[in-house]
């Protein structure tokens, strides 16, 4: 993991700490790091946020699933659940709601450094969302032609977005409501510290590892402000084995529940030995 929040004065991203949503041009910084061990199989690149409560009740409800599913009537008349991010300047917001309005928008680029030469690592932006989300739950509006600019006419972008939803990507099958970065963000996290899949790094051949051990640099277009709520941001590189990916949540949960059960067992055993031999007869003495 590489923490690039920039709270430490020595961090290259410290100059970007108080960045705003609409900073033009965006603040940029570069962090160099070293991989001690090679990554042999496909690599998953995540962004992580801390102290960000996507599980807040009002935040979770602040969306319009009909609008996100391409319903034309909901596009121009979003649900009241999206307030106060339902309209802006008397125009309906697409996509509406607090979840979409707070979408993560840092740009991360990875380079390998070999003899002072920076070689870009190919990051794949498709295939990061759930198949059911991409093909069932999220749909662009329908109408004459496939021109998203025309289909979203009469709407406006979320307040914190630098550009409208139909300009999220240059590829038609990854633009608008079916943009995979957007879809991944809209699946809210259960805990305040979480990570979301950002890019994929595929292994090109079986003779060389996907990421060799050595020096790398992470270039960041720092757009997403977290300092105001004491949040933190990090980039995570992970891979999977035959047992799957690393997920410590279940292990922590099992140990916690097991410890509670053990403690309660000791307490109940003590109560049984101390009070279990009492005479339970209901006979009334003479």
pLDDT of residue 204: 84
Q: According to the model, what pLDDT value does residue 276 have?
A: 74
Instruction: Name which of 87, 48, 53 is nearest 67 in CA terms.
Output: 87
**Burial of residue 141, with CB atoms counted within 10 A of its CB: 0-12 exposed, 13-18 middle, 19 or more buried:** buried
* Domain limits for position 69: 2-249
What is the rounded distance in angstroms from the CA atom of residue 128 to the CA atom of residue 200?
7
Within a domain: residue 91? yes
- Domain annotation covers residue 100: yes
Q: Give per-residue pLDDT as tens, 109-146.
A: 999 999 889 999 999 999 999 999 999 999 999 887 67
Beta strands 43-50 and 194-201 are: antiparallel
Is 41 part of a structural domain of the chain?
yes
In a domain, 162, yes or no: yes
Residue 141 falls inside a structural domain: yes
pLDDT at 143 (0 to 100):
80
pLDDT at 205: 80
Q: What is the pTM of this model?
A: 0.83
Q: How far apart are CA 70 and CA 109, in angstroms?
A: 32
272 found inside a domain = no
Residue 203: exposed, middle, or buried by beta-carbon count in 10 A (0-12, 13-18, 19+)?
middle
In a domain, 269, yes or no: no
Give the pLDDT score at 280: 54
**Pairing state between β 194-201 and 87-88:** unpaired
46 assigned to some structural domain: yes
Structure-token pair, residue 23 = 């900073």
Quickly count: other Cβ atoms within 10 Å of residue 240's Cβ.
12
Total domains, the chain? 1
**Sites in the chain below the pLDDT cut of 70:** 22, 145, 241-247, 277-286
């Amino acid at each position: 993991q590489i923490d690039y929040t920039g709270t430490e004065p020595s961090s290259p991203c410290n100059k970007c700490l108080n960045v705003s949503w609409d900073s033009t041009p965006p603040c940029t910084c570069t962090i160099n790091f070293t991989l001690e061990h090679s990554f042999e199989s496909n690599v998953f690149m995540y962004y992580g946020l801390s102290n960000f409560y996507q599980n807040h009740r009002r935040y979770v409800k602040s969306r319009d699933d009909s609008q996100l599913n391409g319903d034309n009537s909901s596009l121009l008349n979003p649900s009241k659940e999206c307030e106060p991010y339902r309209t802006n300047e008397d125009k309906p917001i697409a996509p509406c709601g607090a979840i979409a309005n707070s979408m993560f928008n840092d740009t991360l680029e990875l380079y390998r450094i070999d003899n002072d030469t920076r070689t870009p690592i190919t990051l794949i932006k498709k295939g990061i969302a759930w198949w059911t989300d991409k093909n069932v739950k999220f749909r662009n509006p329908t109408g004459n032609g496939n021109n998203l600019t025309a289909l979203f006419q009469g709407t406006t972008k979320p307040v914190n977005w630098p550009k409208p939803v139909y300009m999220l990507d240059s590829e038609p099958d990854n633009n608008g409501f079916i943009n995979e970065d957007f879809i991944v963000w809209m699946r809210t996290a259960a805990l305040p510290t979480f990570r979301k899949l950002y890019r994929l790094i595929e292994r090109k051949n079986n003779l060389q590892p996907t990421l060799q051990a050595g020096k790398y640099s992470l270039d960041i277009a720092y757009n997403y402000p977290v300092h105001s709520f004491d949040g933190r941001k990090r980039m995570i590189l992970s891979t999977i084995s035959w047992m799957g990916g690393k997920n410590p949540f279940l292990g922590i949960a099992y140990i916690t529940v097991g410890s509670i059960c053990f403690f309660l067992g000791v307490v109940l055993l003590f109560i049984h030995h101390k009070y279990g031999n009492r005479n339970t007869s209901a006979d009334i003495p003479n």
